[in-house]
Structure 1
């Protein structure tokens, strides 16, 4: 079946917003057997949108539309697609009631234009939106299927995964089983080179690499009849990948590095404290975003100035005078002092030059020291990172978690 993705929104057309929706959808259509032949982006203009809709419906079996489902006058997608399919949009009382209750429960005024989001063709399948006010829908007419989804990724992604995927699996006669392998320690080019024979000769399952900041993901996907069969098909490839890449594969179930560390700390009933300088709270922020972090995270401190490192953490002034704040010795004392004062089993510390200013000949911008202390032992590593300030801080945060993960695996 031929599939097409139509992204609606002037902000996309003008490059003001990155179109992550189309990428997300295409990655999930192709493995189900849909041939994605066209990606189209069109602005919020009824004449041009009408032309695009008619063209898409004529040449494709399944068309996924994103955006243009809101309550404003320039939200035109639903009405335009319905007209192209010969369908009439009308107010659905149940949806109107649900929408009004949504506004009332949050204390927002409910204005009449919001009823636009409660209007659909009677035959449409309405897709609930757990994170917004605009439901999606599926319209069908004369062997054509139009899937309409809200534009914001935080609304679209779960709607597609929870409601559209089961529909498409039934439509295509295929079911997908996917596992995401997360890798930290090698770049995409190295990973794909080491797996080049697997990637070149893949059939079922398939493996697709994706680059994320500082790490690589491999999605192993099997076409199957049910989850049990999918797991059986995917298992040998997952095992081969892990065997080749070794311990740089930190998760085979899509966990992030912070989530992996949180799970290991929780399972082992170990506690953690964090002392941050150059990462400025990013390590703690990643942990606090995880539900249940109070089970293992005792304390976190952003100690940026030298004076704070002395007064708050207990770093020796002599250490700073002799070696500086960006040094192995300072990182070591930051971690050890934080562990002692908090009573945690482990303490992580970061200090470095995130740039663009700062740095020395010995420790240029991008130099970061990470220390991990536990009773009777403190590990320190120095990494040299490149790029802008935000990227250096983000990658340093990942290195801190990877250091903790590796130590937890050994202990």
Structure 2
């Protein structure tokens, strides 16, 4: 079954907003066996939108719209779609009650244009908006399936997953063999190297299939199979997962879609282990990634952002001889990374201490090149390890990749510890 995504909004054409909705929908649709063949972006213009609808009808079975269903005059998606299909619009009572209740609860007078957010096309199924106000819709027309969703991702994503996917499964996918998927998460390896390692499996794939997806600093592989039952699919996917694990045992960290920091926080919290950090060029980004995870308070002792040499000396006891003088290794060095990791661990009395010092750019520092970074990993009772990174990209890329590298090194050390002192029930 072929799909087309039509994203509506002049702000998308102008580049003021990135069309992240299309990426999300393409991944989610593939997971239920619907292949996205086309993605279209069209501005807030009724005639051009109707042209886009006509083209989509000629080449797709499922047409999904995002955006253009708000209260303003340029929100035209439902109007254009109704006109294209020769259907009328009317106010959905439950959706209107939801909109009215929003304003009543806040003691705000509702302007008349907000009624537009409760409009649905005749003969369609409303998709309630649990986060915002604009109701979505789903319907079949002349053997084509239409889904209309809001533009804001925080509204669109739960509406699609919780409302649109069940509708598609009930109406559009009744004769399709179900597609089952599993997400494999990797760290410490780039997309090109991962693909090279898996190239024989990828070239020989028929069923199950392998599809890599890269994000900054991590790679996800979706393995998928069509099968008449979940039990049969699970057996097929487990065989392929084991083959991949045997090829990349040091990089596959999870077979569910979770970030690496989630596993680290959960396992350390369950094991009663604590962590601290000293950051220079990443400026607290590592600590933010950890403390974004619920439950991190029980395992993260705290940290220090030490950009200046003065703070490195005063708060973390880095010797002046390391930082100053013609023969000093400098702040961006293996020696300083080791001291930072050791000292923050001892000051916090934590089981682990992480450190980072480097040149994020855009210019050189201490005559050292952009992308040169040293990361330290200290552990109570063990010799501190320091790793040199030579990264490419923008300042933001380098900082993010540094954090991912630190998390990867910590995960690998925890994996070793798990073998040495297994924690009952751990999935790390």
Fold in common (TM above 0.5): yes
Q: Does the CA-based 8 Å contact 1:32-1:223 persist in structure 2?
A: no
Deviation at 1:14, TM superposition (A): 3.2
Q: How does 1:196-345 map to 2 (within 5 A)?
A: 196-321=199-324, 322-345=328-351
* Separation in structure 1 between the aligned mates of residue 242 and residue 104 of structure 2, nearest angstrom: 52
* Separation in structure 2 between the aligned mates of residue 236 and residue 198 of structure 1, nearest angstrom: 12
Q: 1:401 aligns to what?
A: 407
Deviation at 1:64, TM superposition (A): 1.0
* Separation in structure 2 between the aligned mates of residue 75 and residue 21 of structure 1, nearest angstrom: 17
Q: 2:379 aligns to what?
A: 374
Deviation at 1:317, TM superposition (A): 2.7
Q: How does 1:9-28 map to 2 (within 5 A)?
A: 9-28=9-28
Q: Does the CA-based 8 Å contact 1:353-1:368 persist in structure 2?
A: yes
* Separation in structure 1 between the aligned mates of residue 181 and residue 106 of structure 2, nearest angstrom: 37
How many residues align structurally? Answer: 410
Q: Does the CA-based 8 Å contact 1:186-1:215 persist in structure 2?
A: yes
- Aligned Cα root-mean-square deviation (Å): 2.2
Residue deviations 1:308-338 (CA, integer Å, cap 9, x gap): 1122223233332333211222112212221
- C-alpha distance 380-53 of structure 1, shift in aligned 2 (>3 A): same
Q: Does the CA-based 8 Å contact 1:169-1:175 persist in structure 2?
A: no
* Separation in structure 2 between the aligned mates of residue 72 and residue 29 of structure 1, nearest angstrom: 29
Deviation at 1:389, TM superposition (A): 1.1
* Separation in structure 2 between the aligned mates of residue 174 and residue 110 of structure 1, nearest angstrom: 47
* Separation in structure 2 between the aligned mates of residue 316 and residue 215 of structure 1, nearest angstrom: 35
* Separation in structure 2 between the aligned mates of residue 159 and residue 35 of structure 1, nearest angstrom: 20
Q: 2:422 aligns to what?
A: none
- C-alpha distance 297-117 of structure 1, shift in aligned 2 (>3 A): same
* Separation in structure 2 between the aligned mates of residue 156 and residue 397 of structure 1, nearest angstrom: 30
Deviation at 1:282, TM superposition (A): 0.4
Q: Which moved more, 1:380-389 or 1:2-11?
A: 2-11
* Separation in structure 2 between the aligned mates of residue 110 and residue 203 of structure 1, nearest angstrom: 56
Deviation at 1:52, TM superposition (A): 2.2
Deviation at 1:31, TM superposition (A): 5.6
Q: 2:424 aligns to what?
A: none
* Separation in structure 1 between the aligned mates of residue 322 and residue 208 of structure 2, nearest angstrom: 55
> Unpaired segments of 5 or more residues in structure 2?
418-428
> Unpaired segments of 5 or more residues in structure 1?
none
Residue deviations 1:67-105 (CA, integer Å, cap 9, x gap): 111111111101221232333221122211212323454
- C-alpha distance 174-110 of structure 1, shift in aligned 2 (>3 A): farther
Q: Does the CA-based 8 Å contact 1:13-1:42 persist in structure 2?
A: yes
- C-alpha distance 277-105 of structure 1, shift in aligned 2 (>3 A): farther
Does the residue aligned with 2:223 lie in a helix, a strand or coil? Answer: strand
Does the residue aligned with 1:350 lie in a helix, a strand or coil? Answer: strand
TM score, norm. by length of structure 2:
0.89
* Separation in structure 1 between the aligned mates of residue 164 and residue 232 of structure 2, nearest angstrom: 22
Q: Which moved more, 1:100-109 or 1:2-11?
A: 100-109
